[in-house]
Amino acid sequence: MTVGWVLMSERELDRVEVLSQVSQGRMTAVTAVTAANVLGLSRRQVHRLLKRFESEGAASIRHKARGRPSTRRIDPGLRE
């Protein structure tokens, strides 16, 4: 298994911290309302993130569009 660096924002790191607490039992998943309130998400989204976090690890929480060009960018030829 290759281990590498994963760049994450502060928001993503907060999500990893809360999800790890839920998966370790320090914060109950039944009261996912608490986790949802801390993260500013819905209970449903917390359950989705938790499922992905437990199956794929912390790197799965990182935003998938990081490093990709915007889909709303203006074509360089059109810009000039």
Q: What digits encode the pLDDT tens for the residues 9-53?
A: 788 888 888 888 888 777 765 566 788 888 888 888 888 888 888
pLDDT bucket at 64, cuts 50 / 70 / 90 = confident
Q: Which tokens is 73 given?
A: 């960018």
Is residue 18 within 8 Å of residue 41, measured between CB atoms? Answer: no
Tokens of 32: 């996912």
Tell the burial category of 43 from Cβ atoms under 10 Å away from its Cβ (0-12, 13-18, 19+).
middle
